[in-house]
Amino acid sequence: MSELSLLSAVLIGWLGGVHCLGMCGGIVSALALSAPEADRTRILLAYNLGRCLTYVMLGLTAGTLGLLGMRGLGIAPGLLYALANILLIGMGLYLLGFPWLVHPLEQAGQGLWRRVEPLSRRFFPINTVARALGVGLLWGFLPCGLVYSALATAFALGSAAQGGVWMAAFALGTLPNLLLAGWVGAGTLQRLRQSPLRWVGGLLVAAWGVYGLFRLALSWSHG
């Protein structure tokens, strides 16, 4: 996996942060307000650590399933590579405000979330580091189009290690917004929605996906 691909994962996590704030910002802000002031930073870090660990675990699982698909079902690596780049285009379009390619993945996760969400209630009120970590681990399953698209990309990488690294890079990108939401409030960060950086990032991510498909088409034409 190239460094540029990993940079795409970080950009997707960071610039998609406004969407993350819409889904997770409320709980992060509430978590910070309800936590004892002396423990607020530790609780925020524990929640985000749990969430990021779940992303990495899911990335390892998705990458393993992709590998099994290649070996057991005879899925051609080129097809998985094409899927990964199509998903990059979809995530780039999502950052640009066109979620139609990513939205079905978000809807598909609703059934899983309905089973996971009640488990998280056992950790309320979130007034200790252990409770925050537990909620974070479960809220990593929240049906977010960007997260599920990133997981589909991890599957398309066809490698447990690469899938885990890809999701770790994505998780790293999500951290600044959600940590700041806990420290300064989610509303303060909503200006990112109109930021030119989001448009530039969306174009870069989509362009990288188009470039990957172009390279694949060239290899097939010369093969």
Q: What is the 3-state secondary structure (H, E, C) of 26-86?
A: HHHHHHHHHCCHHHHHHHHHHHHHHHHHHHHHHHHHHHHHHHHHHHHCCCCHHHHHHHHHH
Does some domain include residue 72?
Answer: yes
More confident site: 19 or 49: 49
Highest mean pLDDT among 20-24, 71-75, 97-101, 138-142: 138-142
Q: Is residue 184 part of a domain?
A: yes
pLDDT value, residue 61: 96
Residue 223 maps to a domain: no
Residue 188 lies in a domain: yes
Q: What is the pLDDT of residues 191-223, one digit of tens each?
A: 555 567 677 777 887 888 898 888 888 887 765
Q: Which domain holds residue 168?
A: 3-218
The structure's pTM equals 0.82
- How many domains are there within the chain? 1
Of residues 188, 91, 201, the one with CA closest to residue 148: 91
Taking the C-alpha atoms of residue 177 and residue 37, their distance in angstroms, rounded to an integer, is: 20
Average pLDDT value for residue range 74-89? 82
